Amino acid sequence: MMAVGCLFLLLLGSGGAKANSASVSTELSKDVEINSSVPVDVTERTSAEALLEQLTHTKLSKAAALLEQLEQSGDVRVRAVFQTMLDGALYYQRDNRQLLAVRKGEDKSLNASDVFSGESLGVVAKKSVKKIRVNNRLRVYLRGALSRLALNADSADDRNIAVMSMLDKLSADNVAALQALDERETNHEVKVSIALALAMNTLATSSDRDQRLAAIEVMDGRLEAPVKNQLRALVDSAVVDGSIVNSSLDTQVIAAAQKALQNIDGKVTAYGYVEQLFFGLSLGSVLLLAAIGLAITFGVMGVINMAHGEMIMIGAYATFVVQQLMPNFLEYSIWVAIPAAFLTAGLVGVLIERCVIRYLHGRPLETLLATFGISLILQQAVRTIFSPLNQTVVTPEWMSGSLEINAVLSITYSRIYIFIFALIVFAALQLVMKKTSLGLQVRAVSQNRSMAKSMGIHTDRVDALTFGLGSGIAGIAGVALSQITNVGPNLGQAYIIDSFMVVVFGGVGNLLGTLFAGFSLGIANKFLEPATGAVLANIIVLIFIILFMQKRPKGLFPQKGRAAE
Amino acid sequence: MSTPSSNSMNRLSHTVGKYRLPIKPTSLFVLVLFTATLLASMANLWVPADSAFHVSTYTITLLGKYLCFAMLAMAVDVVWGYCGILSLGHGAFFALGGYGMGMYLMRQIGDRGVYGNPELPDFMVFLDWAELPWYWLGMDNFGFALLMALAVPGLLAFVFGWLAFRSKVTGVYLSIMTQALTYALMLAFFRNEMGFGGNNGLTDFKEILGFDLQADSTRVSLFVITAVMLALGYVVSQFIMNSRMGRVVLAIRDGEPRTRFLGYRSERYKVWLFVYSALLAAVAGALYVPQVGIINPGEFSPLNSIEVVVWVAVGGRGTLYGAVIGALLVNYAKSRFSVVMPEGWIFALGALFVWVTLFLPKGLAGWAQDKFFKTEEHPSEDEPLSSDMDTPISHSAKGAS
Amino acid sequence: MSFLNDALETTRETMRRDQVWPMLMPDVQVNVDKDVILYVEGVSVSFDGFKALNDLNLYVNDGELRCLIGANGAGKTTMMDVITGKTQPDQGSVYFGQTLDLLSRSEPEIAQLGIGRKFQQPTVFAEQSVFTNLELSLKTNQGVWSSLTARLSSEESDRIDTVLHTIGLKGQRNLLAGALSHGQKQWLEIGMLLVSQPRLLLIDEPVAGMTAEEGERTGELLQQLAGEHTVIVVEHDMEFVRSIARTVTVLHQGSVLAEGSMDEVQNNPDVIEVYLGSEE
């Protein structure tokens, strides 16, 4: 609590810390006073070079004033210096007072780089450099200064971000900076953001009713957390049990604020649902990926493959191995990993089919047991070859990060890609099954084995290929899963029951049913989660499926007709 | 072959093959079991520890554990071997029975727990629970706890079976459903909020009915009780299988639609058999917990349930003694193997699954029967097939009507 | 909620007085005042758009021996499925006697009413002895609990012996049914029907896999059964049908095309065109 309190004070302090040297807040005033006594001519426009050089001499207590001058110097390089300093990585070389960015490597060696260009300058000895120290107060100042400096960024998007980041620190200097920007800004989006910030400032500082109402109107429906917090604080200060009690505040303003707040809450809730829906789709696509191979082996061939989860695991390990083999091309490794995983898992699948499953035709329960044995062997093999521990699979740069749609809704890229990937895999599989001769043969064999055989279809070959296809797709699913979960020997086990549930729920032998089941179970799970917690949601969904199966033993989309009997 | 019904007794009994055993298999089984139990118990209690014939208490407990597993295997065999219902979730009934007993033992700890709370088990104190949840009430009474240990799994089996069999969920669908059931229960029992000790389960038991659980005499008694219960379970199961109900059950396994067209409500037979099997598993679980001293959600894991199926498959499904032998053999092998080479054990278990299904579909019992008691499966030629065909039909048809 | 109702319904059903105390079980009477034992009216069944039965109407008199003929896919087996409760029709009604609605009953209930069925493929319990197969077919209390303590009465075992004699499997009584030849299995299945003493027998292709001599005997047996029982036979073997048939019904594309004596049917121009004409 103490720490938070201090931080808060510091935040307040940083608000008034700049502007011009005359108006300084309580927190920094002491430093500035001391600063005025040092032999540096403040009025003279010192070049940034000189100021930077000075930085290496200045005591910690006097650094603030120097930084303010630096900010005002308007030099573009100042941002880099501030950022490095904020990171605690600003050093200078003892001999020539050259500023350096120094970061500790994994082996604790000190790697120096140029502050401005980021160019590496190699390892430096610990003795030869000295850190320019920062304290909390300076950090607060640096953050403020950085966001103000960001207002001058070239890209409109960056300026917009800078404006947005100021919403919860509308100090006088910041407001002044915003107003200054507003005058020269041409980008519409940025202007809207500035208007919002200024409206928030007006609401906080003005006492004129019309101005405040106008400000609330601007703020109405905005999703940014500071907007909501400010309105909430305003309403809370005046409203108890739904009626306005604090008569000192303008009732009209309060009512408007209340309404705006309701609008915001409504929007936030709506976006919350959108987010849950997306999480649901994301989980659904994972379920779909995990289950889709099973939809082939179980749904089409009728083989209960308990080693299906291990096929997924093999795919994930294939990704890991590929990354180990090409450590310098991690960004592209995934494009190698996908075919590699497909082939590895597919080959293992063909092997299993040839060696075990083909001897167990028409004995589903025995197949179940045998493939379970295989799953144990595969798991243990992975434990022996690699290790029982989880392996790290690197996520490519382009898959990390998230897409921010607005202040309350952001979606991670990896999930978006997996969603798209799942749909592509599904479409490709559907194409194979419907349009290729292999697909035709597979369907023929699954519907009437002996008839297909007498038509000259090599049922043995088709069986092996189908099983290989199903396993290969499970392998591809493994590539996708390796990006979002731990890659370990138990990876597959976590998905096997869910996969079966999806296939059974969707209706055996129906790929479209699998798609539908995957997504609906995923969404159901995620919508239950806020109320019940993840585990209970999982249990409820399982119980739901068990009960559902009583009503419709053949799933959502059963195969009909006499052949299905 | 005095009565017609003994003629039709299934071929798994002593009429099998050309060799006739001098004793009914059921009696033989009970005899062997009791002799072994008695010998092991005496060797533990009365043979001095330094003698070569001494059986350590550790071994006794291990044997007791095996017998519990044998009972569980028998439960699976009753539904799988005889009725074709492959349950991959019997571990759930076993574990529920175990939890029932565990709750009683937990309450017996009283204030001897780490926190010394006379009312609440340690984990509840740890979780800051103010009072005992309602479902723990009465569990300090042995009789009531035992009743619950049977009633809860029995009821679960009834509800699940009633739902599943009524809507004709069969074959692999049912297997996957049972697996999902035990998986759901595992997830649930892992939750601390459930009030069953979460991850750690129930453990640190002190005494049962006032007897110290660590004492040799208690351990031997538990072992003997387990053997008696196993024998009882065997006899009752054999009785069921030899009754007409057993024949209907076999008929359902081999041709459920036909059985229904004969007028049997197959779903009811299956439900009651499933409940009976669940009760057997629950008894095994309740006996298991005081002997091993712990019950945790791991017992619900689908892997455990599938392992039981392997025991049965190895021993030979459709024969009760096969299930028992399978459970004993595999578990003995597991104890030996996993000490020598823990990694190898998993490989061996996996290979065992594959090997048994491919090469030993009837299990050891079936293999032994085929090898040593070759049954005459072909009609004897001394009687022409149509020997009775010349008699007037009118007579026989009237007789039949 | 319907789920709960179902549960309640079944509990009530299980706890029925006559179920708990079998001696209270009323002997279900089939009302044949109008001489008709089976009413199939306006029954339609479709699988994925294919109309297996199309507004089928069929009335069978008590004690009749009726033969059903028709090309493959004419709906013969589907009709049997509907009568025995295996398939629910999309519309129509099926009554046993005047009062017993068959559509609201499950397969076991229908079987207990006294409707026996022999399948196209002989289905016997391969892993059990011939004797047990017959024992299981006895018309007795078929509840779970009574089966646990059931003992064969001497009367019942006599009946089984008589039937064994009739179907010529006396020497195979302790043999596993799976070890029988195809023809013997057919006989065993007929035997299972005989033991259960049904009011109505539905027999699907009884002579398939039998020698000519055996077929002849089967024909005789069926004719003997008619009168006391009602028999519906589905058969492809025209000679066999001609030898036993009194009334023949021709099915075509899920509905009745013609009905009458064998000669009438064979001279029916419709029949000649769609069925006999195309084959002969």
Contacts B156 to A, Cβ<8 Å = none
Helix (H/G/I), strand (E/B), else coil: C94: strand
Q: Does B177 touch chain A (CB under 8 A)?
A: yes
Residue C196 phi, psi (nearest 5): -80, -5
Q: In this predicted model, what pLDDT tens digit does every residue of A173-209 receive, in sequence order?
A: 778 878 878 887 788 888 888 888 888 888 778 777 7
Q: Residue B233's pLDDT is what?
A: 95
- CB of A146 within 8 A of CB of A139? no
All residues of chain A having their beta carbon less than 8 Å from the beta carbon of residue C50 are 561
* CB-CB under 8 Å, B262 with C192: yes
Altogether, the residues listed in chain C come to a count of 280
Predicted pLDDT at C17? 55
Average pLDDT over residues A105-130: 76
Residue A27 banded pLDDT, cuts 50, 70, 90: very low
Residues A180 and A323 in one domain: no
| Residue C159 with chain B: CB contacts under 8 Å | 399-400
Q: Give me the pLDDT at residue A394, please.
A: 84
The alpha-helical segments, DSSP class H, found in C167-211 are 182-195
pTM of the model: 0.79
Question: Per CB distance under 8 Å, which residues of C are interface residues toward A?
Answer: 3, 47-48, 50, 52
CB contact under 8 A, A550 and B180: no
Distance CA B41, CA B46 (A): 8
Same-domain status, A162 and A128: no
First to last CA, chain C: 58
Helices (H) and strands (E) in chain C, counts: 13, 10
Look at the block and give the residue holding tokens 């207002």: A151
C25 contacts C91 by C-beta, under 8 angstroms: no
Q: Are A321 and A186 part of one and the same domain?
A: no
Are A238 and A245 in contact by the 8 Å Cβ rule? The answer is yes
Confidence (pLDDT) at A26: 39
Identify the residue with better confidence: C214 or C15.
C214
Tokens of C190: 């007929």
Report how far residue A303's alpha carbon sits from residue A356's, in angstroms, rounded to the nearest whole number. Answer: 11
Q: How far apart are CA C265 and CA C271, in angstroms?
A: 7
Q: C2, C4, C45, C48: best mutation site toward chain A, by most A Cβ within 10 Å?
A: C48
pLDDT value of position C16: 61
DSSP tag of C176: B
For residue A375, give how far its alpha carbon lies from the nearest alpha carbon of chain B (Å): 7
Domain limits, chain C: 63-88+105-279
Q: Among A473, A441, A464, A458, which residue's Cα sits nearest to residue A350?
A: A464
Per the structure, how many domains does chain A have?
3
Does the beta carbon of C125 lie under 8 angstroms from any beta carbon of chain B? Answer: yes
Per-residue pLDDT, A159: 81
Among A112-116, C27-31, C121-125, the minimum mean pLDDT is found in C27-31
pLDDT digits (tens, 9 = 90+) for B208-220: 998 999 888 899 9
CA C223, CA C199: separation in Å to the nearest integer? 15
- Rounded Cα distance, B241 and B254, in Å: 15
Q: Cβ atoms within 10 A of the Cβ of A233, count?
A: 11
Asked whether residue A86 falls in the same domain as residue A52, the answer is: yes
How confident is residue A453, by pLDDT bands cut at 50, 70 and 90? confident
Residue A201, SS3? helix
Query: Read out DSSP for A80-148?
Result: HHHHHHHTT-EEEETTT--EEEEEE-TTS-EEEE-TTT--EEEEE-GGGEEE----HHHHHHHHHHHHH
Question: Which residue would you say has higher pLDDT here, A144 or B302?
Answer: B302
Reduce the DSSP state of residue A102 to 3 states and report it: strand
Please, which chains are in contact with C (at least 3 CB pairs closer than 8 A)?
A, B
Residue B95 lies in a domain: yes
Query: What six digits make up the tokens of A228?
Result: 């909501």
DSSP string, A224-253: -HHHHHHHHHHHHHHEETTEE--TTS-HHH
Residue type, C168: G
Residue C128 and residue B254: Cβ atoms within 8 Å?
A: yes
Q: Is A127 on the interface with C (CB under 8 A)?
A: no
Residues of A (505-564) whose Cβ lies below 8 Å from C: 547, 551, 560-562
* Ranges in chain B, pLDDT < 50: 1-18, 376-401
Res C7 pLDDT > 80:
no
C-alpha dist (Å) from residue B6 to A485, B92, B319, B371, B377: 60, 36, 18, 25, 19
* 3 state SS of B216: helix
How far apart CA A31 and CA A36 sit, in angstroms, is 9
- Distance in Å, alpha carbon of A559 to nearest chain C alpha carbon: 9
Q: Do B10 and C128 touch (CB under 8 A)?
A: yes
Residue B139: inside a domain: yes
With a CB-CB cutoff of 8 Å, which residues 160-219 of chain C face chain B? 160, 162-166, 168-176, 179-181, 184, 192, 194-197, 214, 217
Residue C21, pLDDT > 70, answer no
Q: Which chains touch B (3 or more CB pairs under 8 A)?
A: A, C
Say yes or no: A130 and A159 in one domain. no
Instruction: Quickly tell me which residue has 């296939």 as its tokens.
Output: A503
HSE of B187, CA atoms in CB hemisphere, 13 A: 18
Q: Two tokens at A37?
A: 């006594």
Instruction: Enumerate residues 6+ apart whose C-beta is below 8 A from B296.
Output: B189, B197, B199, B200, B201, B202, B203
The pLDDT of residue B1 is 35
The tokens describing B40, both together, are 């092991």
Among candidates B174, B203, B199, B176, which has minimal Cα distance to B186? B199
CA distance B303 to chain A (A): 9
Query: Is C63-88+105-279 in CATH node 3.40.50.300?
Result: yes
Q: Does residue A166 or residue C95 have the better pLDDT?
A: C95
Does A456 reach chain C within 8 Å, measured CB to CB? Answer: no
Within 13 A of C94's CA, how many CA atoms are on the CB side? 24
Which residue range is the domain that position A224 belongs to? Answer: 151-249
Asked if the Cβ–Cβ distance from B167 to A500 is below 8 Å, we say: no
Residue A483: how many CB atoms within 10 A of its CB?
A: 22
| pLDDT-wise least confident of A79-83, B242-246, C53-57, C115-119 | A79-83
Give the residue on C whose Cα is nearest the Cα of B378. Answer: C179
pLDDT bucket at A497, cuts 50 / 70 / 90: confident
Q: Is A402 helix (H, G, I), strand (E, B) or coil?
A: strand
At residue A485 the predicted structure's pLDDT band, cuts being 50, 70 and 90, is confident
Q: Verify that A24 and A88 share a domain, yes or no.
A: yes
Given CB atoms, is C225 within the 8 Å cutoff of chain B? yes
Of B8, B166, B260, the CB nearest to C135: B8
How near does any CA of chain B get to the CA of C2, in Å?
14
Look at residue B269 and tell me if it is in a domain. Answer: yes
* Residue B352: C-alpha distances to residues A363, A374, B88, B316 (Å): 18, 10, 17, 13
A374/B358 touch (CB, cutoff 8 Å), yes or no: no
Is residue A457 domain-shared with residue A330, that is, in the same domain?
Answer: yes
Examine residue B396 and state whether it is found in any structural domain, yes or no: no
* Residues of chain B found within 8 Å of residue A553, distances taken between Cβ atoms: 167-169, 173
Question: Ranked by mean pLDDT, which of A108-112, A518-522, C234-238 comes out on top?
Answer: A518-522
Residue A563 domain-assigned (yes or no): no
Asked if residue A261 belongs to a domain, the reply is: no
- Position with higher pLDDT, A281 vs B388: A281
Q: What is the pLDDT of residue C14?
A: 65
Strand pairing of A90-93 and A99-104?
antiparallel
Question: Are A224 and A292 contained in the same domain?
Answer: no
Residues of B in contact with C172 (CB under 8 A): 379, 383, 385
Tell me what pLDDT residue A33 has. Answer: 40
B183 - beta bridge partners?
Answer: none
Residue C221 has phi, psi (to 5 degrees) of: -60, -45
B342 within a domain of the structure (yes/no): yes
Tell me how many residue pairs between chain A and chain C have CB atoms under 8 A apart: 9
A208 and A190 assigned to the same domain: yes
CB contact under 8 A, A380 and B188: no
- Which of these, A358, A385, A415, lies nearest to A489 by C-alpha position? A385
Note whether A298 and A364 are within 8 A (CB). Answer: no
Query: What residues have CB less than 8 Å from B311, skipping those under 6 apart?
Result: B69, B73, B76, B323, B326, B327, B329, B330, B331
Measured CB to CB, residues of chain A less than 8 Å from chain B are 304, 356, 359-360, 364-370, 372-377, 379-381, 383-384, 497, 500-501, 504, 535-536, 538-539, 542-543, 545-547, 549-551, 553
Q: Does B349 touch chain A (CB under 8 A)?
A: yes
| CB A163, CB A151: distance < 8 Å | yes
Residue A6 CB: number of other CB atoms within 10 A? 11
Task: In chain A, count H helices and then E strands.
Answer: 22, 9
If one counts every other C-beta atom within 10 angstroms of the C-beta of residue C197, the result is 16
- Nearest CA distance, C255 vs chain B (angstrom): 25
The DSSP bridge pattern shows strands C36-47 and C50-61 to be antiparallel
Would B379 be classed as within a structural domain?
Answer: no
Under a CB-based contact definition with an 8 Å cutoff, are residues A426 and A292 in contact? yes
Contact A388, A255 (CB under 8 A): no
Convert the pLDDT of each residue in A328-359 to its tens digit: 888 888 889 999 999 999 999 999 999 999 88
pLDDT reported for residue A245: 60
Chain C: give the shortest CA distance to residue B306, in Å: 26
> Domain residues for B321?
19-371
pLDDT for A239 = 67
CA A549 to chain C, closest CA, distance in angstroms equals: 13
Instruction: Look at residue B17 in the predicted model and tell me its pLDDT.
Output: 46
Task: Enter the ipTM.
Answer: 0.82
Contacts with A501 from chain B: Cβ below 8 Å: 176, 180
The C-alpha atoms of residue C67 and residue C236 are separated, in whole angstroms, by: 10
Q: Which of B261, B275, B317, B401 is most worth mutating to test chain C (most C CB atoms within 10 A of its CB)?
A: B261
Name residue C199's amino acid. R
**Which has the closest alpha carbon to B248: B71, B8, B73?**
B8
Residue B43: both structure tokens together: 């060797």
Q: Which of B197, B177, B206 is nearest to B297 (CA)?
A: B197
Query: Is B361 in Cβ contact with A365 (below 8 Å)?
Result: no
- pLDDT tens-digit series, residues C145-202: 888 888 888 888 999 999 998 888 888 888 999 888 888 888 898 899 889 888 899 9
- Which residues in B lie closer than 8 A to residue A545 (C-beta atoms)? 180
CB contact under 8 A, B254 and C165: no
Query: In the prediction, which pLDDT does C28 show?
Result: 60
> Residues A394, A416: one domain?
yes
Sequence-distant (≥ 6) Cβ neighbours of residue C116 within 8 angstroms: B261, C192, C193, C196, C198, C200, C201, C202
Q: Compute the C-alpha angle B39/B42/B48, nearest 5°.
A: 125
Number of domains in chain B: 1
Q: What is the CA radius of gyration of chain A?
A: 32
Q: Which residue of A has its CA nearest to C77?
A: A562
**Residue where a domain terminates, one of A89, A119, A141:** A141
Identify the band that residue C257 occupies on the pLDDT scale cut at 50, 70 and 90.
Answer: confident
**Which class for B148: exposed (0-12), middle (13-18), buried (19 or more C-beta within 10 A)?**
buried
Tell me: do A26 and A67 sit in the same domain. Answer: yes
Distance CA B183, CA B204 (A): 26
Radius of gyration of chain B (CA): 24
